[in-house]
């Protein structure tokens, strides 16, 4: 397994929060780019997955939040533009693995990632918060 930031082989893997995304990284990248995430028990992890709500995330600006189906929106628009994941990753200077995780809604993209995706795909991933 390799660090999701620098690509070095992982002898000691650390789960870290980097720009709002959970990543497996080496100790150097965890210290330089993010904060370590403590692991939860399996019961807590299952509960977290079941209660996954992108709308619980803080939006780019007040009154806006990520759409519930952000992953399928990204995938459909990428396919409409005849872009592979690799091509889109190069276009926005991100890793393919991160885009796969976003499309499958395994991670919630950071605000900066949302902006890059919206610009590259000419699509809106944000909506007004509902009260």
* pLDDT score, position 50: 40
Put simply, whether the predicted model's pTM sits higher than 0.75 gets the answer no
pLDDT grade for 55, boundaries at 50, 70 and 90: very low
> pLDDT of 97-130, one tens digit each?
999 999 999 999 988 899 999 999 999 999 887 6
Mean pLDDT of the 81-107 span: 94
Please, what are the domains in the chain?
1-51 (no CATH), 54-128 (1.10.260.40)
What pLDDT was estimated at residue 64? 82
Give the per-residue SS3 of the chain: CECCCCCCECCCCEEEEECCEEEEECHHHHHHHCEECCCCCHHHHHHHHHCCCHHHCCCCCCCEEECCCHHHHHHHHHHHCCCCHHHHHHHHCCCHHHHHHHHCCCCCCCHHHHHHHHHHHCCCCEEECCC
């Amino acid at each position: 397994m390799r660090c999701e930031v620098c690509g070095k082989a992982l002898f000691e893997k650390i789960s870290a929060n980097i720009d709002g995304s959970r990543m497996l990284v080496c100790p150097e990248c965890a210290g330089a780019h993010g904060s370590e995430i403590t692991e939860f028990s399996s019961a807590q992890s299952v509960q977290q997955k079941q209660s996954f709500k992108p709308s619980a995330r803080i939006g780019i600006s007040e009154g806006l939040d990520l759409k519930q189906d952000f992953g399928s929106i990204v995938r459909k628009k990428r396919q409409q533009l005849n872009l592979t994941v690799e091509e889109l990753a190069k276009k926005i200077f991100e890793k393919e693995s991160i885009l796969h995780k976003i499309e499958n809604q395994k991670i919630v993209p950071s605000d900066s990632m949302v902006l890059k995706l919206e610009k590259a795909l000419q699509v809106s991933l944000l909506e007004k918060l509902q009260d």
